[in-house]
Structure 1
Amino acid sequence: MKLKRYIHIIILLPALSVFSCGQEEKEEQKEKVTVAEVLEKEISFSRTFPATTVALEEVELRADVVGYVTGIFIKEGQQVRKGQLLYQIDPTRYQARKEQAAAAVSIAEGNFERIKKDFERYERLKAEDAIASQIYDNALIELRNAEQELNAAKSELENTSIDLQYASIYAPFDGTIGFSMVRMGSLVNPGESLLNIISRDNPMGADFFPEERYLTKFQELANYEDALADSIFLLRLTDGTEYPKPGEIEILDRAVNRNTGTVQIRLKFDNSDKKLRPGMSATLIVKDTQKDNVRLVPQSAIKEQMGEFSVFVVENDEVKQVKVKTGRNFQDYRVIEEGLEPGQKVIVKGLQKVQDGDKVEIIEEKDS
């Protein structure tokens, strides 16, 4: 009996020793986590809206007279100057009509002058009571008819001059011309045949359609004098680059669209470097004019579960899970409306490995 009891003691001692060592290792082992401080800053928030660039001035060049295209003096896609000749429609018939109308005016002027002199002579005779009233009245009617014929001839000359002028199409302003819709020898008709489209390059517009709830804000910004200086309106292009020049409100539509609940707003951007072209897609960034004092934590510190948000706060090397009320995003940070105080340390790396009450070894992450 004594032997068996001794053997039991020998077996139990090593087991107790192993258990004790494992417990000490567990107590000494701590997860390493990276933390960051809760920041308090004054920042300006911004909102984004999809936008499309548009030409503030764009004209469809159409034929105003019938005829064949006899001259194309542009290279498609080139920049043109105001008054530059772009297209020529055969002017031969219009030149002939103008000369014919000019001749008719000359004849009508001669006839009018002859009748006028006769009438002036009849007027003197009538004053001396040396002519019948009927002759005087007929002379007056003949003079008025001659005057009307002269005016009609002058109107015809003006119309033929306009037709001849419309046979040559000039650039109405400085801008960029598009693809030509006609070729040499094409027959064009007035008001129907589109020749080309020209748009002004600078400044350039950008249209966007915010919801009705933003209308009051944009009405205020429409009267904001420092929109350019404060860079309130910025464009981010599809390649991710930010257009370097800020814009300002050009037009705020008169009414809200009943079908979409949005209002059309057009901005104006300096485009002297010709980087913007009509029809480009972009993201409009609208900055707030006032700064808000907010508390921020990196977005990597936020944990979401069942629609609730929380963070792991480290105090005295011990983890504490805290529920928070979050606000808007700002760059790589999230606004904390409730639950945290400035200066508290929250876990940003390693939060998947810890639980409420764990002891941790922290590594500071400095705010950049």
Structure 2
Amino acid sequence: MVLFSSCADEKDQEEKEKVTVSAAIEKEIRFSRTYPATAVALEEVELRADVVGYVTGIFIKEGQEVKKGQLLYQIDPTRYEARQQQAASAVSIAESNLERIKKDFERYERLKAEDAIAAQIYDSALNELRNAEQELNAAKSELENTSIDLQYASIYAPFNGTIGFSQVRMGSLVNPGESLLNIVSRDDPMGVDFYPEERYLNKFLELSTYETTLEDSVFTLKLSDGSIFPHPGEIEILDRAVNRNTGTIQIRVKFDNKERKLRPGMSATLIVNETENESVILIPQSAIKEQMGEFSVFVVENEEVKQVKVETGRNYQDKRVIKEGLEPGQKVIVKGIQKVQDGDVVEIIEEKES
């Protein structure tokens, strides 16, 4: 009997399952959400011809930075210079004609005051004066129009920015309103557009007035190469309405872009951080068992397994937040949960912290 009892104890010892456990930890963390985002220029202008003519000058290097007021393109100004000179001459003639008619009319006015002129002659002189004034106004308008056309024959940079690939070459014929010459966009600051769900609208309305630094930034940008953009962002625009088809709202975040690392059209990941830390209980995700929409974990106390239902929260790195069901320090099984049941006695192995 002693031999049988000894063998039974050895058998029980051999039947203990070895499981790896990890302690539930309480930690102050700052949650964040990520959104796919696209860089956009806050200011972008299409340069189009406003007059017809041949391109006679291209004064830019494609892709270069340009300064406000810098001459970029020249459309043949010859015809517009000729029209301006013609219009200027017409103004001079109209002014001389008006001056002559005005002197005649002044003489007729003196004669009328002395009742020494027929009313018909006076009325005719008055009409001639009014016609001369209108002719001068028309000539001045034509001069202004020709001056504007001549001005439009030279295309200047509307602001400091970067110019793209030229859509025309020397000698190209351009037409007003139709021919695209190039596109200029402002580099600094730069916008980033993303589309959160409408349920987060109130949160972003609050964040629109929140001031941050890079160390305490709400909006952080991860570039496509995995690097973090070196400046914090702030909300520039919230769209006026929610998209009915997608249930999302367009939001634009502004970033300083002094280093010119952002270019329009670039893809990035926008990280939206919470403004305050939150104290939560964390366990490895491998410890959680799901069945019929309910979540549970196996807790080990005095080498005995106990299955406990838990309410889970958000993911955090390789761990999961536990809202209810666990206390800090409790040990949960992270390896071997498929081999144990409630009430089993196990041999535990402490998981090494990575």
User: What residue number does 1:339 align with?
Assistant: 325
- Give the conservation status (yes or no) of the 8 Å contact 2:22–2:283: yes
Counterpart position of 1:98: 84
| Of 176, 201, 212, the match for 2:162 | 176
- Contact kept? 1:203, 1:271, Cα under 8 Å: yes
Deviates more, 1:287-296 or 1:91-100: 287-296
Distance 1:86 1:127 in 2: 62
Letter aligned with residue 237 of structure 1: L
- Which residue of 1 is the match for residue 62 of structure 2? 76
C-alpha distance in structure 2 between counterparts of 1:237 and 1:18, whole Å: 69
**Residue identity opposite 1:141 in structure 2:** N
In terms of mean alpha carbon deviation, does 235-244 or 344-353 score higher? 344-353
Mapped partners of 2:171, 2:28: distance in 1: 67
2:350 matched to 1:363? yes
- Structure 2 distance, partners of 1:114, 1:280, is 68
Percent identity between the two aligned chains: 78
Return closer, same or farther for 1:185/1:341 CA change in 2, 3 Å cut-off.
same
Deviations 1:237-261 (A, max 9, x none): 2222222212111111111222222
> Partner of 1:231 in structure 2?
217
**Which string of whole-angstrom CA distances, capped at 9 and with x for unpartnered residues, describes residues 132-178 of structure 1?**
22222221111111111111111111111111111111110111111
Distance 1:221 1:167, change over 3 A: same
Indicate the SS of the match to 2:112: helix
Determine the structure 2 residue equivalent to 1:202. 188
Q: Structure 1-normalised TM-score?
A: 0.87
Quote the Cα distance in structure 1 between the aligned partners of 2:163 and 2:87.
35
1:9 corresponds in structure 2 to none
Q: How many residues align?
A: 353
Gaps of 5+ in 1: 1-12
Amino acid at match of 2:90: A
Matched, 1:55 2:47: no
CA contact (8 A) 2:43 2:186 kept: yes
Answer yes or no: is 1:240 the counterpart of 2:229.
Answer: no
Offset of residue 294 of structure 1: 1.9
Question: 1:7 aligns to what?
Answer: none
Per the TM alignment, residue 28 of structure 1 is displaced from its structure 2 partner at its CA by 6.4
- Distance apart, 1:225 and its partner CA: 4.2
Alignment of 1:254-269 (within 5 A): 254-269=240-255
Asked if 1:126 is matched to 2:112, the reply is: yes
- Please say if residues 287 and 333 of structure 2, whose CA atoms lie closer than 8 Å, have aligned partners that are also in contact: yes
Q: Rg: which structure is higher?
A: 1
Matched, 1:193 2:161: no
Give RMSD over aligned pairs. 2.5
Q: CA deviation at 1:121?
A: 1.9
Moved more, 202-211 or 118-127: 118-127
- Partner of 2:57, secondary structure, is strand
Mapped pair 1:155 → 2:126: no
8 Å Cα contact 1:212/1:262 also seen in 2: yes
5+ residue gaps, structure 2, are: none
Q: Which range moved further: 124-133 or 322-331?
A: 124-133
2:203 corresponds in structure 1 to: 217
